[in-house]
Amino acid sequence: MDPRTNDQIRTRLLRRRDELLGEGDVDIEPLKDDPTKKIDEDAAPLAEMEQVIASNRNRARAQQLQQIDLALVRLGEEPEDFGLCESCDEPIPMRRLELMPWARLCAACQQEQESSDAPGTRKHLTDYR
């Protein structure tokens, strides 16, 4: 990858990283810590759902930060290999790198990996029978 593109990717990664760090974790409010409040049976499942959504969001954010950090390391240590798909060694299209500068796989390989990781298709669940 030429040094100018390299700089562009680095800038994008750093900007996205700042955004994520600026957002901060979503507060997860404890459900049962308020003894003065009667448990509203209609509201409880909703509050629980909101907790799940918040913790999923926090987890996704932490994962993306990790991917960005890894991408920055790769960009610094192996600038020649950056932007090549780790599975098929083909260059990842610039359009994709602009949207997801931390991408390690081309769209085709990513899709393949995701479909084999999709819930319900995991093979190891049945391996123990």
Interacting residues with Zn ion between 90 and 109 (CB under 5 A): 106, 109
Q: Which two tokens stand for residue 88?
A: 């098929």
Residue 83 — left, alpha, or beta (φ > 0 → left; ψ -120 to 50 → alpha)?
left
Would you count residue 114 as binding Zn ion (CB under 5 A)?
Answer: no
String marking each residue 38-67 x if it binds Zn ion according to CB under 5 A: ------------------------------
Smaller CB separation from Zn ion, 9 or 109: 109
CA-nearest of 85, 95, 86 to 9 is: 95
Smaller CB separation from Zn ion, 70 or 125: 70
Distance CA 14, CA 27 (A): 24
Would you count residue 88 as binding Zn ion (CB under 5 A)?
Answer: yes
Distance CA 74, CA 68 (A): 10
Question: Out of 1, 75, 85, 100, which residue is the one contacting Zn ion (CB under 5 A)?
Answer: 85
Smaller CB separation from Zn ion, 44 or 88: 88
Task: List 84's β-bridge partners, or say none.
Answer: 91
